[in-house]
């Protein structure tokens, strides 16, 4: 598994027209009774196996949220490792994002990276979500993993996201120059060439990640479908960088607006996540069939949105 490259796996799925990220937020208490709940390990694993088997030809990505596994200690961790092993066996071309939102000082992040990516005791993930709050230097243990995807929180989908993410931040003159937001004046006066000198924090993150942290071409961003205008802003900043887009389905994101704002110049670049809307589409014995139907429905809707945006652009 060491030769798996997250970006290459993504590109192969996009080429098939697959953009749906199936979020394996397999909360034990919400699992259907048909699974049997005597043991969290057996129940979570059986549920995930059924979901993966039903969607393996449709999913662009699988994204287990580590919280729903850590809650059950060793049993949950084993369920996650066995889930990843099953995905790699039954759907080897589908990458796996560990949704862990890690972020700490560099030495701690070495441990987190080994946990996420390690092939002995780790979870064998192809990518991980991380927080930018401690800066790029602290994230080096993740960023230095050239084959892995490092997906940085940028503009998240939750209602309170703007509390910090919308704060106005003034880039330095040097950053503005590097990011193409200012021009050098003959007398080197920053005020003469950098007037619109404040950006929302989430845009600052987008510039920093795309211009400075992406040397290995392994970065991506998280931007919620619940904020399509902000998603459009980020897409303009980052070009063809992958964007993980949560918020479709249970959180109420508008798919048409999301696709129009989130697609790159090739009509790709999107990892559109649905978790509860797919895996808990039914709480009966037909839960896996229901998950397949919902995945097909979302996949086809994304394709239709892309076709309409192409018609508009060529109209």
Catalytic: which of 78, 101, 140, 297?
101
Instruction: Count CB atoms within 10 A of the CB of residue 197.
Output: 16
198 belongs to the catalytic site: no
Cβ neighbors of 115 (< 8 A, separation 6 or more) are: 121, 122, 123
In terms of C-beta density within 10 A (0-12 exposed, 13-18 middle, 19 or more buried), how is residue 17 classed? middle
Backbone angles phi, psi at 132, to 5 degrees: -85, 0
Selection from 285, 281, 263, 284 nearest residue 272 by Cα: 263
Pick left, alpha or beta for residue 26 (phi over 0 → left; psi -120 to 50 → alpha; otherwise beta): beta
The DSSP bridge partners found for residue 222 are 153, 244
Active-site positions read 101
């Amino acid at each position: 598994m060491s030769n798996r490259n997250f970006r290459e796996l993504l590109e192969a799925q996009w080429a098939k027209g697959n953009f749906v990220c199936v979020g394996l937020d397999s909360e034990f208490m919400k699992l259907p009774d048909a699974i049997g709940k005597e043991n969290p390990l057996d129940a979570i694993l059986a549920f995930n196996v059924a979901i993966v088997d039903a969607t393996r030809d449709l999913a662009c990505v699988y994204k287990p949220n580590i919280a729903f596994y850590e809650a059950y200690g060793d049993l949950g961790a084993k369920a996650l490792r066995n889930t990843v092993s099953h995905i790699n066996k039954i759907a080897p071309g589908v990458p796996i994002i560990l949704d862990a939102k890690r972020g700490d000082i560099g030495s701690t992040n070495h441990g987190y990276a080994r946990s996420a990516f390690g092939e002995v005791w780790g979870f064998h993930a192809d990518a991980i979500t991380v927080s930018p709050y401690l800066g790029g230097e602290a994230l080096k243990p993740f960023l230095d993993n050239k084959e892995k995807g490092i997906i940085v929180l940028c503009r998240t989908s939750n209602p309170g996201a703007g509390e910090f993410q919308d704060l106005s931040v003034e880039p330095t003159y040097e950053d503005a120059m590097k990011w193409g937001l200012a021009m050098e004046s003959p007398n080197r006066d920053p005020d003469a060439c950098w007037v619109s000198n404040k950006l929302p924090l989430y845009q600052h993150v987008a510039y920093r990640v795309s211009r400075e942290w992406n040397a290995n071409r392994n970065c991506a961003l998280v931007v919620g479908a619940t904020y399509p205008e902000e998603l459009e802003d980020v897409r303009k900043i980052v070009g063809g960088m992958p964007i993980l887009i949560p918020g479709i389905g249970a959180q109420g994101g508008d798919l048409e607006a999301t696709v129009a704002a989130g697609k790159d110049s090739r009509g790709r670049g999107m990892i559109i996540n649905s978790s509860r809307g797919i895996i808990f589409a039914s709480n009966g014995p037909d839960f896996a069939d229901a998950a397949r139907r919902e995945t097909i429905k979302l996949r086809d809707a994304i394709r239709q949105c892309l076709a309409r945006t192409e018609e508009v652009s060529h109209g």
